[in-house]
Amino acid sequence: MQGFLHLSNGEVFEGEWITSKPDQDVFGEVVFYTGMTGYQEVLTDPSYKNQIIVFTYPLIGNYGINDIDFESEQPHVAGVIVYEGSMEFSHYNAKSSLKEYLEKWNIPMLGHVDTRALVKRIRSNGSMPSCLTNTPHLKEEFVDRTGKAVQEVSSKEICSYGSGDIHIVLMDFGYKKSILDSLLERECKVTVVPFNTSAEKVASLQPDGVLLSNGPGDPKELTPYLNSIKSIISSFPTMAICLGHQLVALTFGGNTEKLLFGHRGANQPVMDLIRKKVFMTSQNHSYVVNEPSLKGTGLYVRFRNINDGSVEGMAHESLPIITAQYHPEANPGPAESAGLFEEFLQMVHYKIRREKVYA
């Protein structure tokens, strides 16, 4: 059964439905992911909310879907595009095929698409609105579904996990389960709170530190919450990842901007400008911090992307704040940058020791 991807620049790519053909047109921003593995983590990463993901690796689905590698309870992508989708899996942990999993959630997958040509278009023209349809002619206008994505994926209530001596509040803008797991593995008690939780409420939870999570969309959509976020991160040792990193820049007066096609994959080289070391990272984002805008904010660049020189992380001159545009929890991807969690917890322990001295 033929299916079509319509791009907002007027181009159309033809393929065949691997899943059942959708009952209605599916709109989303078309982006591409370069990793060879990790499709299950990508599908369930809330940062991909309302996006149509193109997998550049030609064979996707060969190890199926398991019960272990989910980053949230459900997939968040609007649609999937592959060159070849293998529905015969051979992994000992697999419980279902990729096709079965996507059909369970009514997410269409279009195969036999010239993904190499499609990715070249995205690299040249940028990520753009797109639509998956059953017809070669699009009858309706493109629908922008990028706004309010954080509200759709964030927790609706406060939940606590673990029982460690260190208490971390995880502000949920669309967090990956691997971030929570990384804190629990380091014997933290973690309280997950909705993205719009007030500074007063966070303070009442008496955390030792705060982590601002990843999440979907434009960070400037959250401008109404910046004053509250600034109050929170100025009061507690803070770590921020991806969208959280961008929000830290905005709260102190910096600016963010959209990349042409973003960073999505598990092979992005990043340099730690303090330790003078390069490590490989997993990334998924469209927006970056504008470096010149950091002048006078108290923030400075700690990590830099080797490929394009973009800001990959910051620290504050006087406050215990450290941020990463990349994903130190990885999943999928290399775990070389996981030490950032230890650095964050060292800041937390330092604050606790100081409070005991002055008590």
pLDDT tens digits for range 80-138: 999 998 788 889 999 999 999 999 999 999 999 999 999 999 999 999 999 999 999 88
Give me the pLDDT at residue 140, please: 77
Domain positions in the chain are: 2-133, 153-358
Determine whether 41 is an active site residue: no
User: Given this model, what pLDDT does residue 100 score?
Assistant: 95
- Please report the pLDDT score of residue 359 as a whole number: 67
Whether 263 sits among the annotated catalytic residues: the reply is no
- Report the predicted TM-score, pTM, of the whole model to 2 decimal places: 0.96
pLDDT value of residue 85: 85
Architecture of domain 2-133: 3-Layer(bba) Sandwich (3.50)
CB 98 within 8 A of CB 126: no
**Which contacts qualify for 151-158: CB closer than 8 Å, 24 or more apart?**
151/195, 152/49, 153/46, 153/49, 153/72, 153/76, 153/215, 153/216, 154/194, 154/195, 154/196, 154/215, 155/192, 155/193, 155/194, 156/194, 157/194, 158/191, 158/192, 158/193, 158/194, 158/197, 158/205
Listed residue (112, 82, 84) closest to 15, CA to CA: 112
Give the CATH fold of the 153-358 domain: Rossmann fold (3.40.50)
Asked if 173 and 214 touch (Cβ cutoff 8 Å), the reply is yes
Task: Tell me what pLDDT residue 280 has.
Answer: 96
Choose the catalytic residue: 41, 71, 312, 329. Answer: 329
Considering 131, 242, 245, 312, which one is annotated as catalytic?
242
For the question of residue 100 being annotated catalytic, the response is no
Report residues of the chain scoring pLDDT below 70: 359
